[in-house]
Amino acid sequence: MKAIEFTTEELCRDSRLRIALVTETWPPEVNGVAMTLKRMVDGLIRRGHSIQLIRPKQAIGDVATHGGALEEVLSRGIKLPRYDGLKFGLPAKSSLVRTWTRQRPDLVHVATEGPLGWTAVSAARKLHLPVTSDFHTRFEHYSTHYGVGWLSQPVAAYLRRFHNRTAATFVPTSELAGSLAAQGYERVEVVSRGVDTVQYSPARRSEALRRQWEVAPGGIAVVSVGRLAPEKNLGLTLRAFAAIREHRPDARMVIVGDGPMRDAIARECPHAVLAGMRHGEDLAAHYASADLFLFPSLTETFGNVTLEGMASGLCTVAYDYAAAAEVIRDLHNGAIVRRGDEKGFIQRAVQLACADGLRADIGREARRTAEGIDWERVCDHFAEALLSAWRGKALAHDGRVSLRIQGGES
């Protein structure tokens, strides 16, 4: 192997990076972070970058992927308390320093803020590697829903310190960027989210599925999609549905997802269809076969389900923040309610449940909006943001970069 020097300007014209991406969640785990990261990694690979994916081992027998543009490195992890199916990675600074000394990446991107993520930032800084981060989850908000509200301020301080150690923090909305900047976060940049409008489509609507739900002809199916957990504000979903039933006795509640609140929901709403976890085309059919989507969560950084529902042609009722604030115009392509206004949320849900024509018009506009929110453009933006961070580090080294050459390829 030999090193050849190029000026930064020469090298950045057509740069292909070797990126170490560190995450504590990854498919087949089912959550918005894992899904988003998979989309982003696939997009980076299509653009010619190579990825070293560092993540906790998910289960006994989990085997790392090797070869091609994606190489996995499995680390140790333990189960996340009260959040079945997810782990957080244990500290691994020494191991990461050794790994990145043997094969030095061009840039480290840390997607999650657990112990593995913290030590990845530390290892990158020790080796003078450019390092960026994602802000995916409002952990400080979650604490109030799990009986440890006293942790909210310490968690917020930890997150701020974590991200301010990186060259850039990527967030999905301008609203969140402004909120974090006001809290003292530095170098915050917006990289939005996209939606797969082939998978999520009104064409997936299934009358057979509606009959399975026992929705009468002309009846209305109200859907909720997401983890069945306290932070999703599902109590308001059920109260809104109860109000809808007073006006529309033909309404059926369909709840897609699983989690610690499943039994409580079954007791409170015994006639609801508890569909459990759904994936792929099956999930898409559950969206498209419904008529109204209720999403009152107040703990989202984005809320991918908002775009999935819109792409499916659903009329969505949500609070005016996160993805809904970015893409929904009230009573045009969805319905948005002032954050925390539970009475207003219920009123809007009842209004739309009772207005079949308006609801259908809104669903069509929602689909048109989703068709313009393309993952490829999002991946372009993400790739350029990473390149920008790498270029900034390169420029700090007197405008010259050392490029490793082996076997004729860089």
pLDDT above 70 covers what percent of the chain? 87
- DSSP reduced 3-state for 220: strand
Closest CA to 8 of 294, 379, 344, 403: 403
Instruction: Scan for tokens 């819109």, then name that residue.
Output: 310
How does residue 145 score in pLDDT terms, banded at 50, 70 and 90?
A: very low
Burial label, 304 (beta-carbon count in 10 A; 0-12, 13-18, 19+): buried
Digit-coded pLDDT (tens) for 37-51? 999 999 999 999 999
Pull the structure tokens for residue 200. Answer: 């999520």
Which of residues 213 and 114 earns the better pLDDT score?
213
Interval 326-340 mean pLDDT: 97
How does residue 149 score in pLDDT terms, banded at 50, 70 and 90?
A: low
Are the beta carbons of 126 and 97 closer than 8 angstroms? Answer: yes
What pLDDT score was predicted for residue 151? 64
Digit-coded pLDDT (tens) for 122-140? 999 999 999 999 998 755 4
Among the listed ranges 86-100, 166-180, 305-319, which one has the minimum average pLDDT value?
86-100
CA distance from start to end of the chain: 10
* Confidence (pTM): 0.85
Digit-coded pLDDT (tens) for 203-236? 999 999 999 999 999 999 999 999 998 889 999 9
Among the listed ranges 78-87, 108-117, 240-249, which one has the minimum average pLDDT value?
78-87
Among the listed ranges 11-20, 163-172, 190-199, 269-278, which one has the minimum average pLDDT value?
11-20
DSSP calls for 349-364: HHHHHT-HHHHHHHHH
pLDDT above 90 covers what percent of the chain? 75
Pull the structure tokens for residue 262. Answer: 């499943």
The mean predicted confidence, pLDDT, of the chain is 89
Torsion over CA: 13, 18, 20, 21 (sign): positive
Pull the structure tokens for residue 148. Answer: 């440890």
Are the beta carbons of 200 and 284 closer than 8 angstroms? Answer: yes
Q: Which amino acid is at 332?
A: H
